[in-house]
Amino acid sequence: MMDKGTLVLFGAKGNLARVKLIPGLFHLDLCDKLPPDMKILSVGRQEVNADAWLDEIQDMLKKKFKGKYSKTVFDRFIKRNLYHCNSPDDPAAFKKFAARLSNENEFTKNIAFFLSVRPSDFALIVDQLAEHELLNESKGGYRRVLIEKPFGTDLKTAIELQTSIEKHLKESQIYRIDHYLGKSALQNILITRFANSIFEPIWNSHNIDHIQITNHEQLGVGERTTFYDATGALRDMVQSHLLQMLALITMEKPKSFNPDDIREEKIKVLESIKKIPLNNMDDHVFRAQYKRGEINGERVPGYLEELEKDGLGNSSFTETYAAIKLFIDNERWKDVPIYLRTAKRLHEAGTYISIKFKNKNTLLENANANWLVISIQPIESTHFEIQTKIPGLNDFDFRTVNLECLNRIEGDESIDAYETLMLDLMNGNQSRFLHINEVKAQWKLIDQIIDYWSENKSPLVEYIAGSSDPTESKRIFERDDQFWRKSIHE
């Protein structure tokens, strides 16, 4: 179990804290993962009295967990919680906050700050914490800062943020989040690759035709129109979540499963992704936006209608579908296209990595290629498609059969990604957080596409909500025999 410490949640009145963080901490307590004396200090802009805050948490948890918990753990969890009103732009408030946190009768020396606030407040809060000596580890105890996504909105702003916070923090104190890395199914990619010796000899351009990394959602942008319209699918999903999946599936074998060794290999592969040739962008990138349609039999509005309803006009070029083709500049992946695609409002929700093997040296000309599909969500599973004989008198009649291995079985522990990452933060394990060099490599790649799109050089295609990938997206394929997998099974 981790050392005793205090978790300070900035932005405690926000959506993430209410939906994921506070319920997640309670769940960890129910699983006996929190040390008995750990405290949770929630910080928000609003003045809330201590008892009212505890009442709010109790209501939140009762609604979410519907009585499925032990009363003893519930009471223990409530006792851990405290509230402090502190506006990020008020230095006087920080002075009081620092005085409170420095009271060793109330708090330990180990403190982790979780910044679930507006991105424009990250640097401001770190400055204030430093100003009041709250980031100084020299008097014993750890001081760590977790920064929510996004870390910058392009390479320039990511570097500015980094320059600002590194005045006060060492790399070992900074935890840049990508919640996908907290998903157990993503960690399973490393186990699949490096705990099964059969894969390494075939994990290369001699045997792999191409890789597809898919994240499709049926949900639309919902309440987040302002955020999403300024962000788009490329920044929202590809910049971090999909590129992190790419790193895990293509990185070289790390020296060990040590956090630093894993990060070192991820950085190397991300930095080896080839720049997309500027004169050939439309063969590599594709964007589209959903219009009204139907999802599971229900009519849903188009993206522009959602914007209009929120007073944001009806002429946005923001993409809700993005597909890109990348190549990695090393021997293992020479000339192997890696396709990434993400969308809101598609026919089905699913996150999976599909690997198509080359179809060579088979005695049957029309044999289908083998596919290995690692599914992240909604189901956690691994599939392998092979050809088998159809029983009967025809010697060479065959069909494709799917070997399916469920990676999650009944009774397995179910820990949300944010829960895992909060534990990592308290335990000082950075392997599931982004190193600044990963963030830089990711933005470098994305920036060139954003620049291209912002000059409107590429048409924005429309697709009907609830449909599958827009036909025009196929233009990024290297060859005519390549196609998007429609789901993990076909």
Calculate the dihedral angle through the C-alpha atoms of 63, 69, 75, 79, rounding to the nearest 10 degrees: -70
Tell me which residue of 415, 462, 162, 134 sits closest to 289, measured CA to CA: 462
Radius of gyration of the chain (CA): 24
Per-residue binder mask for ligand BG6 (CB under 6 A), 317-356, x = binder: ----------------------------------x-----
**Considering beta carbons, is residue 110 or 351 the nearer one to ligand BG6?**
351
**Considering beta carbons, is residue 236 or 438 the nearer one to ligand BG6?**
236
Tell me the CA distances in angstroms from 489 to 324, 353, 371, 481, one per residue in order: 22, 12, 10, 18
Per-residue binder mask for ligand BG6 (CB under 6 A), 3-42, x = binder: ----------------------------------------
Assess whether the previous peptide bond of 470 is cis (omega < 30° from 0).
no
Q: What is the DSSP string of 394-439?
A: -TT-EEEEEEEEESS-TT-----HHHHHHHHHHHT--TTSB-HHHH
**Considering beta carbons, is residue 233 or 373 the nearer one to ligand BG6?**
233
Q: Report, as residue numbers or ranges, the catalytic residues.
A: 241
- The partner residues of 299 in beta bridges, in order of sequence, read 294
Number of chain positions touching ligand BG6 (CB under 6 A): 4
CB of 376 to ligand BG6, least distance (A): 8
CB of 144 to ligand BG6, least distance (A): 22
Per-residue binder mask for ligand BG6 (CB under 6 A), 194-233, x = binder: -----------------------x----------------
Q: Nearest to ligand BG6 by Cβ — which residue?
A: 236
Residue from 236, 380, 385, 416 that binds ligand BG6 (CB under 6 A)?
A: 236
Q: Judging by beta carbons within 10 Å of its beta carbon (0-12, 13-18, 19+), is residue 209 exposed, middle or buried?
A: buried
CB of 158 to ligand BG6, least distance (A): 16
**Considering beta carbons, is residue 327 or 443 the nearer one to ligand BG6?**
443
Per-residue binder mask for ligand BG6 (CB under 6 A), 350-379, x = binder: -x----------------------------
Asked whether position 306 contacts ligand BG6 by CB under 6 A, the answer is no
CB of 375 to ligand BG6, least distance (A): 13
Cα–chain center distance at 3 = 27
Per-residue binder mask for ligand BG6 (CB under 6 A), 143-162, x = binder: ------x-------------
Site of tokens 């979410």: 64
Tell me which residue of 379, 385, 386 sits closest to 406, measured CA to CA: 379
CB of 412 to ligand BG6, least distance (A): 18
Question: What angle separates helix 184-194 from helix 243-250, to the nearest 10 degrees?
Answer: 20
Using CA of residue 224, residue 226, residue 231, residue 233, what is the dihedral sign?
A: positive
Residue 317, token pair as written in the block? 């070029």
CB of 139 to ligand BG6, least distance (A): 36
**Considering beta carbons, is residue 101 or 248 the nearer one to ligand BG6?**
248
Which residues in the 417-476 window bind ligand BG6 by CB under 6 A? none
CB atoms closer than 10 angstroms to residue 312: 17
Asked if 315 contacts 303 with a C-beta cutoff of 8 angstroms, the reply is no
CB of 428 to ligand BG6, least distance (A): 24
Residue 112, token pair as written in the block? 């982790």
Tell me which residue of 440, 432, 428, 417 sits closest to 170, measured CA to CA: 428
**Considering beta carbons, is residue 101 or 247 the nearer one to ligand BG6?**
247
List of residues contacting ligand BG6 (CB under 6 A): 149, 217, 236, 351
